[in-house]
């Protein structure tokens, strides 16, 4: 193993750690914390503003690590002569979905900040089926769905790259 192989291994490890922390943390919120909150609303919010700020810091760090390490790995892959075009198409889709995830995270923090700045503004409950479906498909739910898709595409990328190397 050369020094550059060791560096890339380290980069890959950080990339995977950041991905697992972000998607795993969001999945834990969607599948454990939120249902618990719904079942016992009298207990109030399980995550206070301090915990949310801490989670925000963690997600911001994960995003920064993913962008830096992902870009390094991307350059390593696309500068290799054996990179097939299907790899480039798949990585483009993956980057598109990753950017979507980053945009959702940014929007959520902005919404939270404006809600904190204007605490007197009360949210009107919206009950329509379409509204419910839209809510389900936005915010942290969508982050989890996109994250799972991005994990699949990442494994697919590794598979395509290996196939390209071995020529099978």
- Considering only residues 22 to 61 of the shown chain, the ones binding ligand HEM according to CB under 6 A are 22-23
**Distance, CA of 126 to CA of 124 (rounded, Å):** 6
The whole-angstrom separation of Cα 2 and Cα 113 is 47
Q: Would you give the binding string for ligand HEM spanning residues 86-125, x where CB under 6 A is met?
A: ---------x--x--x------------------------
The residue with tokens 């911001």 is: 60
Using the rule CB under 6 A, give the single segment among 27-35, 36-44, 73-81, 107-115 that binds ligand HEM.
73-81
Output the CA–CA distances (angstroms, integers) from residue 66 to 14, 62, 80, in the order listed.
8, 6, 21
Nearer to ligand HEM by Cβ, of 29 and 161: the residue is 161
What number of chain residues touch ligand HEM (CB under 6 A)?
Answer: 23
Q: Mark the segment that binds ligand HEM (CB under 6 A) among 45-53, 70-78, 110-118, 125-133.
A: 70-78
Record the tokens describing residue 155, joined without a space.
């494994």
- CB of 37 or CB of 140, closer to ligand HEM: 140
81, two tokens: 């002569």
What residues have CB less than 8 Å from 165, skipping those under 6 apart?
82
By CB atoms closer than 10 A (0-12, 13-18, 19+), residue 1 is exposed
Which residues contact ligand HEM by CB under 6 A? 12, 15-16, 19, 22-23, 66-67, 70-71, 73-74, 77, 95, 98, 101, 147, 150-151, 154, 157-158, 161
């Amino acid at each position: 193993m050369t020094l550059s192989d060791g560096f890339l291994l380290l980069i890959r490890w950080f990339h995977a750690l950041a991905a697992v922390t972000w998607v795993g943390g969001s999945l834990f919120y969607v599948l454990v914390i939120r249902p618990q909150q719904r079942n016992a609303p009298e207990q109030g919010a399980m995550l206070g503003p301090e915990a949310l700020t801490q989670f925000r810091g963690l997600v911001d760090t994960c995003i920064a690590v993913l962008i830096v390490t992902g870009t390094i790995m991307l350059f390593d892959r696309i500068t290799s002569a054996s990179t097939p075009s299907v790899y480039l198409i798949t990585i483009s889709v993956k980057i598109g979905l990753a950017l979507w995830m980053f945009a959702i995270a940014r929007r959520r923090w902005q919404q939270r900040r404006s809600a904190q700045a204007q605490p007197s503004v009360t949210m009107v409950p919206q009950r329509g089926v379409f509204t419910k479906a839209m809510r389900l498909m936005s915010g942290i739910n969508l982050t989890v769905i996109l994250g799972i898709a991005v994990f699949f595409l990442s494994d697919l990328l590794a598979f395509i790259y290996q196939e390209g190397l071995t020529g099978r």
